[in-house]
Amino acid sequence: MVHALEIIWELLAPDGRLLDIHPSGEPPQVILRNDTERRLLGYLQESDDFIEYHQASEALQAVILRGLFQVESASRFEFSVHADTVPALVDYLKKEWKDAILVPEIIAQAEALWRRPGAQKEMMISEWDGMTLLRPERK
Amino acid sequence: MPILLDPEATETRTLLGLYPDFNGKCVLEIGCGDGRLTWRYAAEARRVAAIDPDPARLERALANRPVGFDHVEFQHANLEDFAARMQERFDLAILSWSL
């Protein structure tokens, strides 16, 4: 990861910028939402326990400490995935988020709530991500 | 609506909050995937080089190219190989969930 940041430093124009986007590493929330409420069903896990996101943060810190980059600004945002059925969410995770683990208890809870009569429902995954704008240092 | 990603566009708003002016900029996006984020910022850029090691996702990006985005070039490459043959310098590099 540090090597990738060194390569990017070389590829940037003198007044260029690096913008890094990566998940915070906090387990994403699994939510059932209807017109009136968001009900937290539990948390998504990843097979590697989110370690690569923490490693990404550490790599950024390492190049900042070495004086390759300086943080210009940073922010956090909520990234959400919306599915119109429980199976659609399970299928999406299987295909696109391969290291995600949605435990059977959460799926069962979601399906039970889904069967209740009431307003239109959707499944949501809500993840907090970080975005950092960095300026390359040229000494 | 089987699946929607970031329908509130919070990612795009955060990006434009940190880097508001893409006008005339030469952008490198690393880990562009299917172009989901690319299409949201690329309109104003002068040129975008978008790289990803996954050919299936790049195929989806190319299939979804909007009209008027011919200045976006997708390449099947990892960062190291791309850098080895690239002389150009970029105004902005975006690590799109790929560090």
What interface predicted TM-score (ipTM) does this complex get? Answer: 0.94
Q: Residue A18: which of B40, B18, B50, B41 has the closest Cα? A: B18
Whether residues B93 and A60 touch (CB distance < 8 A) is answered with: no
Q: List all residues of chain A from 85 to 114 with a beta carbon under 8 Å from chain B.
A: 85, 88-89, 92
Mean pLDDT of chain B: 94
Is B49 touching A (CB cutoff 8 A)? Answer: no
Contact yes or no for A17/A135 (Cβ under 8 A): yes
Which band of pLDDT confidence, cut at 50, 70 and 90, is reported for residue B91?
very high
pLDDT of A106 > 70? The answer is: yes
Spatial separation of the C-alpha atoms in residues A63 and A91, rounded to whole Å: 38
DSSP-assigned beta bridge partners for residue A32: A39, A123
Residues recorded for chain A? 139
Which band of pLDDT confidence, cut at 50, 70 and 90, is reported for residue B56?
very high
Is B38 touching A (CB cutoff 8 A)? Answer: no
Is A119 touching B (CB cutoff 8 A)? Answer: no
What's the gap in Å between the CA of A1 and the closest CA on chain B? 6
Question: Quick one: how far is CA A133 from the chain centroid?
Answer: 17
pLDDT of B1 > 70? The answer is: no
What was the pLDDT predicted at A138? 82
**Mutate which of A1, A2, A6, A7 to disrupt the B interface (most B C-beta within 10 Å)?**
A7
Residue type for position B11: E
Residues recorded for chain B? 99
Spatial separation of the C-alpha atoms in residues A60 and A58, rounded to whole Å: 5
Rg (CA), chain B: 13
Mean pLDDT of chain A: 93
pLDDT in tens, A26-80: 999 999 998 788 999 999 999 887 898 999 999 999 999 999 999 999 999 999 9
What's the gap in Å between the CA of A120 and the closest CA on chain B? 13
Contacts of A60 in chain B (CB under 8 A): 99
pLDDT of A117 > 90? The answer is: no
Q: Residue A123: which of A78, A91, A76 has the closest Cα? A: A91
Mean pLDDT to the nearest integer, B23-39: 95
Q: Residue B3: which of A30, A125, A83, A79 has the closest Cα? A: A83
* Portion of chain B with pLDDT greater than 90, in percent: 89
